[in-house]
Amino acid sequence: MPAAQAGGKAAAPRRAALGDITNDVHKQNNGGGKQSGHPTKVYATRSKSREARSSSSSENAQQQAPHSSAAVASKPAAAAAQQQAGSAGAAKASAARAGASQAAAAGPSSGGAVVPSARSANDIDERDRKEPLAVTEYVEDLYSYLRAQEQVTRLSPAAIEDQEHVSARMFAILVDWLVEVHLRFRLVPDTLYLTVYVIARYLALTPAVTRSNLQLVGVTALLLASKYEEIYPPEIRDLVYMTDKAYTKEQILDMETEMLNRLEFRITVPTTYCFLLRYLKAAHADRRIVQLSCYVAERMLQEARMLRHLPSVAACAAIYLARRNLGRNAWSPTLEKYTGYVEADLASCLRDTCELMAACGDLKAVRSKFTSKQFGAVATMDIDLSCDDEEESDADISI
């Protein structure tokens, strides 16, 4: 808000009070009402009034002459009473001025009352009480379970770093290609996040994956995630085509069996996108915030080092950056309530996220995706990636 407007609003109660006082003074000077008519007539009326008051004063003086001694005797007492009344009036006036100052400082919308500065958290499920699909009765229990499960299914950058033939750079290139394939098949976002988890989990359990089979692992993970999340998963022949026929249908099916056995068929895991959906609701996000948060979250998928952060923390960091860059308070009491994190808990993840967002690499899939109008062209924004130099929180939120 411009300074001129802010000053005008703050001064409005003060001007109103001064206006009332001025009107009262005018009324007192005008005998409690307005005077109208020709100036000559008004002057004549005033002259007659003065003559009447003079004659009345003379008569009163003659009548009160016998009592002059009593009047003289009562003068000290009257003066003392007048002085006491004046002191009381001055005290009341001071109190009134103090009250007016407090009212002016409180602002026009508060009505003179003291407004508390602390913000309170909102109930984000109140409007969905009658919506069966929102499951407001036990949605908090569901996310409490997911928060517990992410501790069990969490991964580590060591899943990539300990590979004999695969590097973090190769992992990033694979995910970049999968983003393009995912967009080509128009799959739901859940499929992409689950695909990356399946790949990282398999690499953690199989440290001897060769470079020639890395793309096979990626495309098979996409097939598994599609069967889990999609109504109509892509056909295997289409996936063979996307790999430029580098692998056959039989190889993909064999790798599918191998990966499921390695993972012991446990692919029901909480991903970053699971928490992103809930926390965006707590952030009261509009479409712009949703698009920018998804852009940041998908950029995180490409970096192996981001595996050290819990999915819930990664989701919070994406929302934090989106809100900060779109003119909103970066964090809020409502977000703190529903995520269970304060700003200090996000410091380490925010620092890593700002670094990867600032890096200008040759991985173009995510940026190209979010440059299109379909996704709000948020990748073309000038994003503030400055991070505070705060120390990392002692909370166990990263490995």
Check whether residue 358 and residue 348 sit in a common domain.
yes
Task: Tell me if residue 115 falls in helix, strand or coil.
Answer: coil
Identify the domain containing residue 395 by its residue range. Answer: 271-399
pLDDT digit string, tens, across residues 129-169: 999 988 999 999 999 999 999 999 999 888 888 888 999 99
pLDDT digit string, tens, across residues 302-338: 999 999 999 999 999 999 999 999 999 999 999 999 9
More confident residue, 308 or 118: 308
For the domain that residue 367 is a member of, what is the CATH number?
1.10.472.10
Answer yes or no: is 1 within a domain.
no
Among 220, 241, 269, where does a domain finish? 269
User: Mean pLDDT score of the chain, rounded to an integer?
Assistant: 77
Give how far Cα 372 sits from Cα of 87, 224, 289, 368, Å. 76, 28, 16, 7
pLDDT digit string, tens, across residues 245-291: 999 999 999 999 999 999 999 999 999 999 999 999 999 999 999 99
Answer yes or no: is 50 within a domain.
no
How confident is the model at residue 119, as a pLDDT? Answer: 72
Answer yes or no: is 177 within a domain.
yes
Answer yes or no: is 47 within a domain.
no
Give how far Cα 299 sits from Cα of 3, 193, 318, 364, Å. 39, 11, 10, 10
Among 242, 269, 296, where does a domain finish? 269
Check whether residue 279 and residue 393 sit in a common domain.
yes
Answer yes or no: is 112 within a domain.
no
More confident residue, 239 or 7: 239
- On the question of pLDDT at 94 being above 70, the answer is no
pTM exceeds 0.85, yes or no: no
The segment with the largest mean pLDDT, out of 64-68, 85-89, 106-110, 324-328, is 324-328
Answer yes or no: is 122 within a domain.
no
Tokens of 393: 């929180």
pLDDT digit string, tens, across residues 40-51: 333 344 444 444
Check whether residue 321 and residue 366 sit in a common domain.
yes
User: How many domains are contained in the chain?
Assistant: 2
How confident is the model at residue 386, as a pLDDT? Answer: 76
More confident residue, 117 or 184: 184
Check whether residue 263 and residue 330 sit in a common domain.
no
How confident is the model at residue 84, as a pLDDT? Answer: 53
How confident is the model at residue 387, as a pLDDT? Answer: 64
How confident is the model at residue 62, as a pLDDT? Answer: 47
How confident is the model at residue 384, as a pLDDT? Answer: 83
Check whether residue 322 and residue 264 sit in a common domain.
no
Helices (H), the chain: 3-29, 39-64, 68-106, 139-152, 158-161, 168-184, 189-205, 211-229, 236-242, 249-263, 272-282, 287-301, 311-325, 333-339, 347-358, 365-369
Check whether residue 202 and residue 250 sit in a common domain.
yes
How confident is the model at residue 359, as a pLDDT? Answer: 83
How confident is the model at residue 388, as a pLDDT? Answer: 57
Going by pLDDT thresholds of 50, 70 and 90, the confidence category of residue 65 is very low
pLDDT digit string, tens, across residues 192-220: 999 999 999 999 999 889 999 999 999 99
Answer yes or no: is 4 within a domain.
no
Check whether residue 320 and residue 211 sit in a common domain.
no
- On the question of pLDDT at 372 being above 90, the answer is yes
Q: What is the DSSP letter of 306?
A: G
Check whether residue 262 and residue 296 sit in a common domain.
no
Check whether residue 265 and residue 317 sit in a common domain.
no
Check whether residue 361 and residue 311 sit in a common domain.
yes
Q: Please name every residue paired with 398 in a beta bridge, in sequence order, or none if there are none.
A: 309
Check whether residue 199 and residue 299 sit in a common domain.
no
- On the question of pLDDT at 92 being above 70, the answer is no
Check whether residue 298 and residue 314 sit in a common domain.
yes
- On the question of pLDDT at 108 being above 90, the answer is no
How confident is the model at residue 89, as a pLDDT? Answer: 52
Q: Amino acid letter at 62? A: Q
Taking residues 373-393, what's their average pLDDT? Answer: 75
More confident residue, 72 or 294: 294
Among 254, 269, 284, where does a domain finish? 269
Answer yes or no: is 378 within a domain.
yes
More confident residue, 114 or 308: 308
Torsion of CA 367, 163, 353, 332, to 10 degrees: 110
Q: Percent of the chain beyond pLDDT 90? A: 58
